[in-house]
Amino acid sequence: MTLLLDVLLDRRNEAEAGPSGWQPAWDRALDLLAPHLRGWTMTVDGPILADGAAALALALYLLSTGQGPAAVTRGQVEDLLDRRGGTDYDIAPRWEEMLRTAGHDPEDQADPVSTCWRQLRVDNSPPEDASEEHDLDSFRRWGPGYIEGLRHALAPRFEIRF
């Protein structure tokens, strides 16, 4: 059985290949989340929480320019999930603009930050023609991974304190 923290530590180690602020953002994300995830496996909630940790690292990275990830507040991270009168699908362009501002091309295959983004922006919703059984499946993932995962990781049950 694969433990969630092992997966997250592997992702953090991969961050060493990224730009200077990428690994500190991962370190901060794991500092915030790891105490709440001990014993979790990659079954059921594990993939969602793995996306949540990666999305938190990405948010910390994008928000911390010049100040370091420890200076980023929970409110700043939550603001990245604000629909601003639109839908969840209107959030991605803001994240992509922040990526570009930070010097990343979201489609760059060689950029580890962009690679993380492309994995997180995958929409896990079932197709519109899916059977009603999907609606009854409480383990079914819904929506883009970065939104679904980050909302899950910031849920009150984990009591993440910035």
Per-residue pLDDT of the chain (162 residues; tens, 9 = 90+): 688 888 998 999 888 889 999 999 999 999 999 988 888 888 868 888 999 999 999 999 999 988 999 999 999 999 999 999 999 889 999 999 999 999 999 999 999 999 999 999 998 776 666 565 555 444 566 789 999 999 999 999 888 989
CB environment 41-80: b (16+ within 10 A), e (fewer): eeeebbbbbbbbbbbbbbbbbbbbeeeebeebeeeebeeb
One-letter amino acid identity for 4? L
User: Tell me, what's the pLDDT at 3?
Assistant: 86
Task: Classify 130 as helix, strand or coil.
Answer: coil
Q: Is pTM, for the whole model, over 0.85?
A: yes
Task: Classify 144 as helix, strand or coil.
Answer: strand
User: Tell me, what's the pLDDT at 125?
Assistant: 74
User: Tell me, what's the pLDDT at 72?
Assistant: 97
3 pairs with which residues across the strands?
Answer: 41
